[in-house]
Structure 1
Amino acid sequence: MKFLHRFLILATMPAAHAWTPGQEPPAMPLDSFQLPEGLEITPWAASPALFNPTNLDIDHLGRIWVTEGVDYRGKAGRQEGGDRIVILEDTDGDGKCDSSKVFWQDPELVSPLGIAVFDNVVYVSQPPNLLKLTDADRDGKFDPKSGDKREVVLTGFNGKNHDHSLHSLTAGPDGKFYFNQGNTCAVFTDKSGKTFRVGSYYYKSGGGEWPVDTKAVSGEKSDDGFVYVGGFTVRMNPDATHAEIVGYNYRNSYEQTINSLGYVFQNDNDDPPACRTSNVLEYGNAGYFSNDGTRFWNADQRPGQDTPTAHWRQENPGSMPAGDVYGGGSPTGVAFYENGALGEKFNGTLLSCEAARNVIFGYKPETDGAGFKLDRTDFLTTNPEKQFDGADFTGGVKKKAAPDQDKLKFNFRPSDVCVGPDGALYVTDWTDPRVGGHDTQDEAASGIIYRIAPKGFKSVVPKIDLGKVDGAILALKSPAVNVRYLGYQKLKTTGASAYDAVAKVLEDPNPFVAARGIWLMPYLGEKGRAKLNSILTGTNAGDRLTAFRAIRRTDGAIEDLPYARKLATDSSPEVRAEAARAMRYRKFDESREVLVAVAEKYDGKDRAYLESIGIGAGHDTEALWKAIGQKMKPGAPADWTDIFARLTWRLMPEAAVPSLKTRAAAAGLSEAQRKLAVDSLAFIKSKDSADALMDLAAEGSAVRDQALWWLVNRSEGEWSSFGLKEQLKKRKLIEDAVPLVEVIVPAKPESTKFTVADVMALKGDASRGKTVAARCVMCHKIGKDGPDYGPDLKGFGSRQAPEIVARSIVDPSFDISHGFEGTAINLKDGKWIDGHIVADGDPVVIRATGGLTQRVPKNQIASRKDMDRSLMLGADQLGMSAQDVADVVAWLKTY
C-alpha cells in the first residue's frame, strides 16, 4: 500500500512563520481514492509547503498560488503575522513541488477565500475588500517598499473570517471578471459610481466582522432599479466598471466557473437539507430568502412541499431552476474542464468539490430546453460507501483524527479544484476530520495538493510569449481559465491584425476552444464583425448563442437589439431565452417585440425558458402580459390554455386578478388548474388579489384551504402592509390572536446517567429501537410523521459511525449542527420561547419543540439572545436508558 508522507516535500525547509504546527495526522493511502479509469492521483505538495488551503489558482508559468486559512474562525490569531498567500512550484519537472515561498503575509489576511492570478497581478478576496496586488518587480514577493502596489478594487463586503463572505474572482471568456459573495451580503459601489445594496435577515450571524448593516438595506433597490437579497454573483469589467449582479438570493455559493460558451455554474451550500450544483440563469433569483430578505425558506414551505422544492422556492414565480439538489454537505471550489491532458471524453466536465462528502462531483451538463440536466457522478472520492462523518449534516459531532486507516477517508476535504496550463487537474485538500460548523480539528492545519492526470503523465507547461500574437493564441487555447484571459486581452488590444490567427481558432475541433475565438470577433475589425454575422445565421445553436453573448458583452459598442429581434424566433429555445433576458434593462417599447415573440414559442413546460421571459420583462411584467394577451387572444378565463395560464403565473400582473379569481372557482377546470390560479393570485402584490383570495376562502369554496393558507402566510410576509388580519377576523376566516405559549428547552444536565461508551458496549435491537424512536417524532420526521424541526432521521444512522449517532442522542449539545442553532425570545410578560426563528418580520415567526410555530408581534418582545445549548433534549431528558439508545442506534443504521 502506498502512502503519502506529508513531509516528503521540502522536508528540510524551515517554516516561514512563527506558528508551529502540532502533531501530523496519519497520511491518506493513495489507493483509498477512486477516480476514472486511466487516471491517477499523486501528491504534488504537502505541509509545510502550505497549510489549510482555502483556494488556488495556477498561473501561465505553472506555479500554484494558494490562499491559506490557518487563522480560520476559532483559531484566529494563532499564526503570528496573519494568514498567507504562498507560491508553489515544481522547478525540476519531476511532478512534485520543490519550491514554496510566501508571496504575502499580513494581519489583513484572515482566511481569505479567493485568489486569481493574471501574470503579475493578483486579486485576493479578503472582506471587506476585493484587493488587487501588483508585483511590479515580478520577484514573487509582495512588498510595497519595492514598488509593488495594493489597491482596493471594491469594498463593502461583510464577513471577514466568515464562510459566507467574499469568494473567488474568475475571468470569463468575455474578458469580464466574475466573483461572488455569500449571504453575509454587502453594500458596494463600482467604479462607474453605481451602488448595489444587498441585504437579508442573516446579519451578524455565525461570527466574523460585519461593517455594513445589510439588514437595514434588505429590500431596498440598488441603483440598477432592482432588489437583491442573499448571496450573489457579480460580473464587471476588469477596471471594476459596469458591474452587474447576474445571480442572487443564494445561501453561500462558494465559487463560480464560467465555461467558454459563457454559461455560469456554481454550487451552493445549505446544510443540512439542500446543497446543490446549478447553472446560474442570468439575472436569476435562486430563492433562498423571501424577496425582501426577511423570511427563510421554511417559513414559506407549503403543505405537502418536499424540502428541495420549498428550500429553493421551486414552485414560486421568479425563482430559477435549482439544478442538482443532493442534500447535506459543504460544497467548495468548482471548475469546468474543457481541454487538456485528461482526454477528449472529459471535455465539458463540471467539477464540484464537496468537502463534507469526501468527494469531487462530476457532471456533463446537457442542455434541456433553455436550462440544463445535471446528472451527478463521483469523479474523485475516498468514500464510495457514502458513510459520512464529521460534518454538519451527519450530526456535527467533532471527531478527532484516528490512527485507523479506515477512518482516514473522512479526512479528505477538497477545498478547491483547478485545471493547470499543463492540462492536469490540481486539488487542494484541507485534511481535517471536521468540516462545517465553523470548526477545525487538525491542530497541524495540514494541507495537501494532489494532481490528477493520465497514468505516467509528464507535466509540460507551454512557454507563452504574451508579447506576440502566436503567444496570445497559445494562451487563449490554454486549459487554465485565467491564463486564457491573458491571451484574450492581448488579442483584443491587437485588433484587426489578429483576425487571421483568431479565425483559425474557430476551426478547432474542440467546441469549447473554438468558442473562445467567437468572443473576440467584435474587436477584430470589419472581418471580425462579418464573421460574427455569419455565425449568427449559421446552423450551430451553441455558436449562435455565443456570438450573441459576445455582442452583448461589448457594453453597447455593438447595438444588440436588432440581433435580439432576429433571435427571438430562433429554432433553439436557449437562444430565444437569451434574447429575452437581454431585454431586462430596456424600455418596454423597445423590448415588447422580442419578449412577445419569445413568449409565443413557450412550450408550457420549460421552467428556465419561462423564467427568462420574466427576467427579461424586468419591471414591465404587467405590460408584457397585456401584450401577450393581445397577441395570443386567450379567450374567457376558463378557456385559457395551460401555456397562457403559466405565463400569467410568472408575470404576476395585477390586471389578471379578476380572471384568476374566475379560474380558481371554475368547476370545469381540473384541480391542478384551479390551484395554479390560486397560487398566481398569491404572488400578485395588490389589495385586489388579497380580496380575491378572501372570497375564495369562503365556506364551500373548492380551494378554501389553499386560499386561506396563502392569506395567513402573506399577511405576515409581503402583504403585511395591507392589514389583512382584522379583515380575516371580521370574515371569521381566522380566530382572534392565540395566547403565546411559553416553551423553555431544559438546561443541559451537568452530567448524564450513562456515557456513549456505555451505549457502545451494548448490543442494539433494531426492531425495539423503531418503537423507542417514536419519542423522537416530536422534533424529527420519521417517515411521514413528525415536524420539520430537527433533521430528518431517514438515512441519518447509515451515514456515520454508531458512536457518532449515539453521541448525538446522549449529548446533543456536544456539537450543534449548523443551521439548527436556537434563539431564546423573552416576552414583555416574562415568558420565554426557545426555538428556531424562521421569519424575522413583524410578527417574528419561531418554531419550537414539537414543531409548534408561533407568531410573536415585535411589540411583545423584550429581548432575544442566541442559545448556548441544543434545542434537542438528551437521552436522559427523554427518559431513555443506555439500552434504549443502543436500540435506536441499531434501528437508525437500517432506516
Structure 2
Amino acid sequence: MPLSTRPLVALILFSLLPVALCAQAVAPGAETPPAPALVPVAGFAVPEGFEITLWAQAPQLRNPTNMDVDYRGRIWVTEGVNYRSHDDRDKAGDRIVVLEDTDGDGTADSSHVFIQEPALGAPLGIAVIDNRIIVSNAPDLIVYTDVDRNARWDAAIDKREVLLTGFNGRNHDHSLHSVTVGPDGRWYFSQGNNSAHFTDRAGKTFRVGSSYEPTWGKAAPQIYSWKPTQLAGAKSDDGHVYVGGFTVRMKPDATGTEIIGYNYRNSYEQTVTSYGDVFQNDNDDPPASRTSFVLEYGNAGFFSKDGKRMWNADRRPGQDIPTAEWRQEDPGVMPSGDVYGAGAPTGIAFYEGDAFGPEWRGLLLSAEAARNTIFGYKPQAAGAGFKLERMHFATSNPGQDLAGTDALRGKTSSEINTFFRPSDVMVGPDGAVYIADWFDPRVGGHQDFDNLTAGAIYRVAPKGFKSVVPTFDLATTAGQLTALRSPAVNVRALGFNALKAQGAAAIGPVASLLQETNPYIRARAIWLLAELGADGLAQVEALLGHADAATRLTAFRALRRQDHRVLVHAATLAADPSPVVRREVAVAMRDVPLAAARDILLALAKGYDGSDRTYLEAWGIGCTGKVTEIAAAMLAAHAGVDPLQWTPAYTGLLWRLTPAAAAPQFAARAAAASLMEKDRLAAVTALGFMSSKEAAMALVDLAQKGDGLVQRQAFWWLLNYKNTRWAGHGLDAELKARGLYDPATVVVTESVVPVPEPSQLPSVAEIAALVGDASRGAARVVACYLCHRIGEQGVDYGPNITSFAKFQTTEVVIGAIVNPSGDIAHGYEGTAVTLKDGKVVQGMVVSDSDPLVVMSMGGVTQLIPADRVERKQRLNRSLMLNGEQLGLDAQGVADVVAYLKGL
C-alpha cells in the first residue's frame, strides 16, 4: 500500500528515527510526520567484523535502478522516477546523477545531474568507462561521450550515440540491462525475455523471441512491427536459435557479437570474473529465482527450445517446480545453480579486492530485492561447474519474512525492514561494497508505492574502514597497471585499454603481474598478454602447461579470443586432467566443422564421469551441428552391447544427443524393471526428444504396458506432442486402437473442492502457543497425503511439504493448514473447467492441449477432449482442503506442525 496510507505506522517509525533519516522535518502543527525515506543502518545484519554505513540518500538521488563507479570514486546512478504507471511523474524524463564523497569521510556530499532527457524512462543499466557512459534504456543501448570530462552533459560539446537498438520492452523490467567490461576487454550485457531483433555494427542480426508478450498498460506501447511470438524459433545470422532472455558478449565497437547464454526468464545482470567465468541471477518472482554460472552458449531452460512453450506447459508428472521450470531433466539445458524460490534478484557483482582480506576474495554478491538481502556465495569448483552455497552478506530481514512480493500477490507490510529493495550491488575502487536501495513496500508487479521517490546508497566495509581511492596517471605505464589492479570492474578497463594500445612495449610490465599474490590480478595479465602481439601470445601459450588448472583455463580462453591455434591446443587439452579445462575445450567446438572437431569430441567423451551435468552439457554444446555423426561413432563402438549394461557415462552421453538411431535401446531401458526408476525415466525423456515414429511407438508401448511414473510420463509425452513433434505418425488412431485414448468414449467425472465454512479455530497466534505432539502429528498428518507428498508417502498434487516446515516460521505453517487460500504456492493455482454438459472439474491443468489434462484432488488425472469444454476460469481459492475440512482441531494442527517441523 502507498506510504501515504500509513500515518500511524509512519508516526511510530518516525519517533524511533533521527530527523536526518527522514525526507523533511515535521512542520509545526502537522498531524503526522513524513514517512521514513530509508532503512536505518542499525536494522541491518552484516558479517562479523563488518559495518554498514549510509553513503548517500534522497534527495541526492531518487529511485536508483542501477549504478557504476568511475576511477575517481564517483558513483553514477540511473533513476527510475518515471517507472511504469508513473511514466510521466517527471515530465523532463529520468536522470543520471553523479555523487561524490569529496572530503573522504565516507558520506557523499556532492550530487549533480549528468543528464536528464525525455528519452530516458527507468533505464536499467549504466557503465562508466573513462568518459564514455553506457546506458541501457530499451529499446536502445546509448553511449554518451563526455568530451570535456566535466561529468555534465552539454549537447554542444558532448556526443550521444545509439550504439545498438532493437531490444523490446520500453520501461519494462524484462528488457535491456547493464554493461560489464570483461577481462578480455569485451562488453557483456543481458536482455530479459521481452525479446529482441538487433543488428550489430558488423551487420550481423540476432532474432530472439518467445511466447512471452510483454503487456502492462499505457507505458508499454508496441514498439516494433514484429511480436516476440513471431521471432520464436527464428535463426539468427550465426545459424543458431536463441529464445528468452540472453547474455551478449561483443567488442566495444559492437562487432564480434555473440550470444553466450540464453533462455532465461529475466537475467537482470551478469558479472564476469577475471578468469572469464560469468555468473548471473535470474528473476522468476514466486517459484524459482536463482543464481547460476553461465555455461558458454548454454540454454537455461525457461522456454522450450523453439520458445513457443513456457516451462509449465512442459512440466511432466512427478516433477517439482525448480526441476520443471529450469528443465533440469531435459537434455540440452545447463545446470540451474542455486534455486532458492520466491525472489526478485537485481544487481550482481564479484569481489576480487584485497581490502577485506584474502579470505573474502572470490565473493559473489547478488542483490535480492524481494528478500531485502544481498546474498553472498563463495563459488567452489565442483567437477566442470561450481557449487554455490548461499549466505546473507547484508540484510534488513534476517528472518526472511517476505512482503510486497509477487509470491504474496503484492501484499505489503508496514515493517520498515521489508522496504529495503536493493537494486544493485558493486565494488568500489576503494575496495568497499556499495548497495543501491530503491526503497519501497512493493517489488515487481509493475508497481511502486513509495510516493517519496526515495533512495539510498549504503556501504559495507570492515569496521573502521577508511575510503582511499587510488590515484593514477593513465598516461604512464605505472598508472595503467594501477588501474588494471582496481577492484572496480569497469575501472580496470581503463588500464586494459591503455596497456593494449602500447602493444609489445607493455609485455614486460604486464608479465610482471604474473607474480602478484592476488590470483585475479594474475589472470588479468594473461588476457592482456594475448592482446600484445606474437611475443605476448607465446607467453600465454606457455601457460597452457602450468600446474594450476585456473591458469590453463584462462590461457586457453585468452587464446580463443584471439582465434590463435585453437584446434592445436584443443587437441592436447582434450586430455587435460581438469574437467574445467576440458569443459572449455568442449564449448570451443560448437561451430567447428565435424572433420576438425570429431576426434577432439570423442576424446572429451572419455573424460565424462557419468554424473557431472555441466561437463555433459558442455560436451553436448560442442556437438552442435554434428550430433548424428558423433552419435553414430559412439553407437558403432558399442554395437552388440546390451543397453541394460550401458555404463552411466555412455548412457548420459547418448542421452544428451538423443539420436533417433538409439530409440530401440532407450525403449529397452525404459521398459526394464531391473533398472532404477530415475534411469527408466531418463530413457523415456530421451524417447520424448526423438521425432521418429519408432520413438513415438515405443512411448505408446510404455503408456500401455508400463507402470508408475514411467507409464504416466510416456502418456504425457504422447498427449503433449502427438499433434506437433509426431504429427503424421498416426498416433491418434494408435492410441484409440490400444484403448489408451478415444475422445468419443471418455467419461469425465466431476471433481469440486467444497467451499470451506467460516473457520471456528482460534487465531494463528493462539494455535502457535499450544505445545504440539510430534508423535500424534505423525498419525494425523495422514490426512495431508490426499494432496501432498511427505517423504515417500502421499501424492504429487500439491507442493511437496517434506522440508517446507523447516524453512518457514511456525505461524506460516499453521496459516497454510488453517487457511490454504491465504497464500497459494505459485504453480499450484487452480482452474475450474466447465463442460458443455454442465459438469465442473476443479484442479490443475497439467497440459493445455487436446485433450486437456487436469489433475484433481488425490492426484486423479482426467483427459478432457477440447471440444467438450465450455470455459476455463481461474479458481480464486486453494485446491486444498483446510484443517477443519480434514478433521483437525486446534491441537491437531499444532501436532501436525510439530511433526512437520521435526522432519
Question: How far is 1:63 from its partner?
Answer: 0.7
Whichever residue aligns with residue 683 of structure 1, its letter is F
Whichever residue aligns with residue 270 of structure 1, its letter is D
Deviates more, 1:631-640 or 1:233-242: 631-640
From 569, 582, 591, the equivalent of 1:563 is 569
The runs of 5 or more residues in structure 2 that have no matched partner are 1-12, 26-32
Structure-2 residue corresponding to 1:184: 194
Structure-1 residue corresponding to 2:213: 203
Structure-2 residue corresponding to 1:727: 734
| 8 A Cα contact 2:37 2:452, kept in partner | no
| 8 A Cα contact 2:139 2:166, kept in partner | yes
From 23, 39, 42, the equivalent of 1:28 is 39
Q: TM-score, normalised by structure 1?
A: 0.86
| 8 A Cα contact 1:113 1:126, kept in partner | yes
| 8 A Cα contact 1:339 1:479, kept in partner | yes
| 8 A Cα contact 1:745 1:871, kept in partner | no
SS at match of 1:451: strand
1:448 lines up with 2:456 in the alignment: yes
1:501 lines up with 2:509 in the alignment: yes
Structure-1 residue corresponding to 2:595: 589
Question: How far is 1:88 from its partner?
Answer: 0.8
CA deviation profile, 1:639-663 (whole Å, cap 9, x unmatched): 4322211111011111212332344
Any residues of structure 2 matched to 1:39-118 within 5 Å, and which?
39-118=50-129
Deviates more, 1:765-774 or 1:417-426: 765-774
Deviates more, 1:851-860 or 1:559-568: 851-860
Whole-angstrom CA distance in 2 between matches of 1:728 and 1:759: 51
1:386 lines up with 2:400 in the alignment: yes
Structure 1 residues 460 and 306: CA distance shift in structure 2, 3 A: same
From 550, 553, 558, the equivalent of 1:545 is 553
Any residues of structure 2 matched to 1:269-668 within 5 Å, and which?
269-393=283-407, 395-402=408-415, 408-554=416-562, 556=563, 558-630=564-636, 635-665=641-671
Structure 1 residues 759 and 671: CA distance shift in structure 2, 3 A: closer
SS at match of 1:449: strand
SS at match of 2:705: coil
Whichever residue aligns with residue 308 of structure 1, its letter is P
The runs of 5 or more residues in structure 1 that have no matched partner are 13-21, 403-407
Count of aligned residue pairs for this structure pair:
870
CA deviation profile, 1:222-262 (whole Å, cap 9, x unmatched): 22222222211111111111221111111222111010000
Q: TM-score, normalised by structure 2?
A: 0.85
Whole-angstrom CA distance in 2 between matches of 1:516 and 1:697: 56
Whole-angstrom CA distance in 2 between matches of 1:121 and 1:562: 38
Structure 1 residues 839 and 257: CA distance shift in structure 2, 3 A: farther
Question: How far is 1:636 from its partner?
Answer: 4.0
SS at match of 2:515: coil
Structure 1 residues 83 and 775: CA distance shift in structure 2, 3 A: farther
Structure 1 residues 853 and 213: CA distance shift in structure 2, 3 A: farther
Structure-1 residue corresponding to 2:4: none
SS at match of 1:356: coil
Whole-angstrom CA distance in 2 between matches of 1:232 and 1:884: 51
| 8 A Cα contact 1:764 1:887, kept in partner | no
CA deviation profile, 1:696-749 (whole Å, cap 9, x unmatched): 4443789655533432344366445655233222222223264789999999x9
Structure-2 residue corresponding to 1:171: 181
Whichever residue aligns with residue 414 of structure 2, its letter is A
SS at match of 2:267: coil
Whichever residue aligns with residue 496 of structure 2, its letter is Y
SS at match of 2:268: coil
CA deviation profile, 1:813-832 (whole Å, cap 9, x unmatched): 9x998777889999999999
Whichever residue aligns with residue 418 of structure 2, its letter is F
Structure-2 residue corresponding to 1:18: none
Whichever residue aligns with residue 276 of structure 1, its letter is R
Question: How far is 1:266 from its partner?
Answer: 1.0
Whole-angstrom CA distance in 2 between matches of 1:549 and 1:761: 61
Question: How far is 1:788 from its partner?
Answer: 5.1
RMSD: 4.2
Whole-angstrom CA distance in 2 between matches of 1:481 and 1:646: 38
| 8 A Cα contact 1:116 1:169, kept in partner | yes
Whichever residue aligns with residue 396 of structure 1, its letter is R
Structure 1 residues 205 and 755: CA distance shift in structure 2, 3 A: farther
| 8 A Cα contact 1:126 1:166, kept in partner | yes
CA deviation profile, 1:199-218 (whole Å, cap 9, x unmatched): 22221355563534111221
Question: How far is 1:484 from its partner?
Answer: 1.0
| 8 A Cα contact 1:411 1:433, kept in partner | yes
| 8 A Cα contact 1:3 1:29, kept in partner | no
| 8 A Cα contact 1:271 1:819, kept in partner | no
From 150, 153, 157, the equivalent of 2:160 is 150
Structure 1 residues 82 and 820: CA distance shift in structure 2, 3 A: farther
From 232, 257, 265, the equivalent of 1:243 is 257
Question: How far is 1:423 from its partner?
Answer: 0.9
Whichever residue aligns with residue 230 of structure 1, its letter is G
Whole-angstrom CA distance in 2 between matches of 1:678 and 1:310: 16
| 8 A Cα contact 1:789 1:850, kept in partner | no
SS at match of 1:168: coil
| 8 A Cα contact 1:816 1:870, kept in partner | no
Structure 1 residues 28 and 706: CA distance shift in structure 2, 3 A: closer
Structure-2 residue corresponding to 1:15: none
| 8 A Cα contact 2:768 2:814, kept in partner | no
Structure 1 residues 220 and 858: CA distance shift in structure 2, 3 A: farther
Structure-2 residue corresponding to 1:220: 234
Whichever residue aligns with residue 141 of structure 2, its letter is L
Structure 1 residues 418 and 240: CA distance shift in structure 2, 3 A: same
Structure-1 residue corresponding to 2:29: none
Whole-angstrom CA distance in 1 between matches of 2:705 and 2:688: 19
Structure 1 residues 885 and 231: CA distance shift in structure 2, 3 A: farther
Whichever residue aligns with residue 229 of structure 2, its letter is K
| 8 A Cα contact 1:802 1:889, kept in partner | no
Deviates more, 1:418-427 or 1:449-458: 449-458
Whole-angstrom CA distance in 1 between matches of 2:368 and 2:498: 36
Whole-angstrom CA distance in 1 between matches of 2:81 and 2:194: 21
Structure 1 residues 444 and 758: CA distance shift in structure 2, 3 A: farther
Whole-angstrom CA distance in 2 between matches of 1:704 and 1:790: 22
Whole-angstrom CA distance in 2 between matches of 1:495 and 1:243: 24
Question: How far is 1:478 from its partner?
Answer: 0.5
Deviates more, 1:64-73 or 1:91-100: 64-73
Whole-angstrom CA distance in 2 between matches of 1:614 and 1:802: 47
Deviates more, 1:483-492 or 1:200-209: 200-209
Structure 1 residues 636 and 849: CA distance shift in structure 2, 3 A: closer
CA deviation profile, 1:16-73 (whole Å, cap 9, x unmatched): xxxxxx9332753423222122221110001111122111111111111111222223
Structure 1 residues 86 and 268: CA distance shift in structure 2, 3 A: same
Question: How far is 1:445 from its partner?
Answer: 2.4
Any residues of structure 2 matched to 1:1-16 within 5 Å, and which?
7=20
| 8 A Cα contact 1:55 1:333, kept in partner | yes
Whichever residue aligns with residue 24 of structure 1, its letter is A
